[in-house]
Amino acid sequence: MKRAIAHPRGLVGATLAFAAIALTLSGSSPSIAKDTAPANVKTCDQPTTPFCDALMPPTPDWKGHVFKLAQNYPAKAPNDITPWTSFDPYTEPRQYLQAALGYFYEGNIRPNVEDSFSPKLNWVRRWYNAPWQDYGTNGREFVHGLTRERVTQPGELDPAQTKKWNNYAVGFYNAPGGEAIGKMWANHGAPNADLAQMPEGTVGAKLLFTTAPVSEVPFLAGAPEWDAYVYADPNDTNPSPTSPRAVMKVRLLQIDIAVKDSRAKETGWIFGTFVYGGGPGGQPGNGWFNVAPVGVMWGNDPGYSGTGPLTQTWLNPEVHMPHVGYQGRLNGPVDNPISSCMSCHATAELPQGTMVPPRGSDPAPWFQNIKSGTPFDAGRKPLDYSLQIEVGFVNFLQAHPVAKPKSLTLEQVQQVHVDRAKPLSRGGEHE
Ligand code: HEC
């Protein structure tokens, strides 16, 4: 899977906006530039507009759910409960992760599956979405804001799985995370990567859905299903922006959680994941609550030889996935088996880091413990384990070849453009 190519609509918008600026600069009155602007000038993702909700508008006849990017980022996160802090992440990882999931579910689960996880309907607490994920081949679709994720290879989800399937996901941040996003993106035309450090108590959570059917992945029976405007061929591992799309059902497969917690001495973060139905051989059930923890990790066990117990990953002994991560470190069902949650997220930096050890390279650098606030590669800007923040910055830079975020040197901006051929998400090198 190659890094996304700009969606035609995005390109048109950007060109027109620059044309309008050029007109203004060349001496025409600004009101003329404005009045004569064609009707299809983009009204989002511009310096003075809100961020876009999705890559494309709803199809004209669409009557179902429509994704609205939750972007009313708070100036100051309100006081809130932090139920995971009642548990020691090292000795009570299961309870810790379950407490974080309960916090994410509260107010987000609704009687109507389609309306669940709509931040504007949650009266318990606010959740926010990261901007600039609405870009390129894998950008957000309009029904639930899902972005395209790593393709699942045969047998990765369940022994019965014979085909490759596309996967899609949407991520949310709680108010502390939302506050940080609001600050780094205060100027929509010039984001500031120096402000990417996430505050204590930040929770990032991501729902991952698969196009794989129950016939191939039996443990998905009873999983919540969402409509999504996805590539119509669910087995197409290399779609282009012009590949046909259709509204299809996708099924809940995995829930990722990341918590900023200073008790995690190795990295500053705790990562954990759930699989629907407990994975292969799990207990039958249905609905949002029928998920089981796969595991929790707080470090990469640097120097681990591959034998003996890992000390910085806890795996749930009741769940038996066909794979987890490298040498048994934590990874989710959708993730690349040669990586781990933290080996990949530790690469969040600008210019964009290489997420997965390239074929034939020494994997050791990816399995260090990188402290929050330290870049993966010396001299780059750390983005505090937050890959949606990285993807947003990279997309922004790609769409603005002449703009330059305050905190980047020109060399860094150029490097971003060199690096942009890198895979988008979750170890796409596999493709
Ligand atoms: C090979 C790379 C890779 C691996 C492995 C990976 N992720 Fe991610 N993750 C990403 C990328 C890229 C994004 C941002 C784009 C997106 O959401 O698709 C992301 C987004 C997220 C988010 C949303 C907030 C954020 O930081 O961007 C969470 C939470 C998350 N991942 C948790 C996990 C957990 C938990 C695991 C392990 C079970 C995991 N990830 C494994 C690449 C990875």
Q: DSSP letter string over 24-93?
A: HHTT--HHHHHHTS-TTS--SSSTTSPPPS-SSPPPTT--S----------SSPPP---GGGGS-TTT-H
Q: Would the CB of 204 count as within 6 Å of ligand 1? A: yes
Distance 206 CA to ligand 1 centre (A): 8
pLDDT at residue number 402: 59
- Per-residue pLDDT tens for 134-176? 999 999 999 999 999 999 999 999 999 999 999 999 999 999 9
Question: Helix, strand, coil proportions of the chain in percent (round to 5)?
Answer: 25, 15, 60
* Closest C-alpha residue for ligand 1 atom 1: 426
- Mutate which of 387, 389, 422 for ligand 1? The one with the most ligand atoms within 8 Å of its CB, which is 387
Q: Is the CB of 390 under 6 A from ligand 1?
A: no
Q: Distance between CA 116 and CA 71 in Å, rounded?
A: 18
CB 167 within 8 A of CB 157: no
Nearest CA to ligand 1 atom 9: 387
404 has a pLDDT exceeding 80: no
Q: Are strands 291-297 and 313-315 parallel, antiparallel or unpaired?
A: antiparallel
Q: Is residue 35 pLDDT above 60, yes or no?
A: no
Quote the ligand 1 centre to 169 CA distance (angstroms). 10
Give the Å distance between the CA of 258 and the centre of ligand 1. 9
Does the beta carbon of 426 lie inside 6 Å of ligand 1?
A: yes
| Residue 424 predicted with pLDDT over 50 | no
Q: Which of 234, 242, 231, 246 is nearest to 152 (CA)?
A: 234
Q: What is the DSSP string of 284-310?
A: P--STT-EEEEEEESS--TT--SSS--
- 428 alpha carbon to ligand 1 midpoint, in Å? 12
pLDDT of residue 415: 54
Asked if the model's pLDDT at residue 18 lies above 70, the reply is: no
Evaluate if residue 325 carries a pLDDT over 60.
yes
- Ligand 1 pocket, residue 118 CB under 6 Å: no
Residue 56 in contact with residue 142, Cβ under 8 Å? yes
Model pLDDT, residue 340 = 98
**Interval 99-105 mean pLDDT:** 99
Write down the pLDDT at residue 40. Answer: 55
- Cβ–ligand 1 distance for 348 under 6 Å, the answer no
- Binding site membership of 149 for ligand 1 (Cβ less than 6 Å): yes
Confidence of residue 25 (pLDDT cuts 50, 70, 90): very low
**What is the reported pLDDT for 400?**
86
Arithmetic mean of pLDDT, 216-242: 98
Position 42 scores a pLDDT of: 73
Upstream peptide bond of 351 is cis (omega within 30 degrees of 0): yes
Say how far apart CA 93 and CA 89 lie, in whole Å: 5
Percent of residues, the chain, with pLDDT higher than 90 = 83
How high is the pLDDT of residue 75?
98
Helix (H) or strand (E) holding 366: none
- pLDDT surpasses 80 at 409: no
Task: Tell me, using a 6 A CB cutoff, whether residue 271 lines ligand 1.
Answer: yes
Look at 189-203, 309-323, 349-363, 403-417 and tell me which has the smallest mean pLDDT.
Answer: 403-417
Q: Interior CA angle at 123 toward 119 and 125, to 5°?
A: 70
Give the ligand 1 atom nearest the CA of 295.
Answer: 38
Instruction: Please provide the average confidence, as pLDDT, over all residues in the chain.
Output: 88
- Residues 300, 312: contact at Cβ < 8 Å? yes
Dist. CA 123–CA 120, nearest whole Å: 8
Residue among 198, 391, 426, 431 whose CB has most ligand 1 atoms within 8 A, to mutate = 426
- Mean pLDDT value across residues 231-249: 97
Bridge partner residues of 272 (DSSP): 257, 296
The tokens of 373 are what? 């606030």
Place of tokens 């034939």: 360
Using the mean position of ligand 1's atoms as its centre, give its distance from the Cα of residue 13 in Å: 29
User: Distance (Å, rounded) from C-alpha 298 to C-alpha 293?
Assistant: 15
Q: Looking at mean pLDDT, say which of 19-28, 29-38, 210-219 comes out highest.
A: 210-219
pLDDT of residue 401: 74
**Dihedral angle of Cα 8, 196, 108, 247, to the nearest 10 degrees:** 10
Distances (CA, A) of 194 to 349, 375, 408: 11, 12, 9
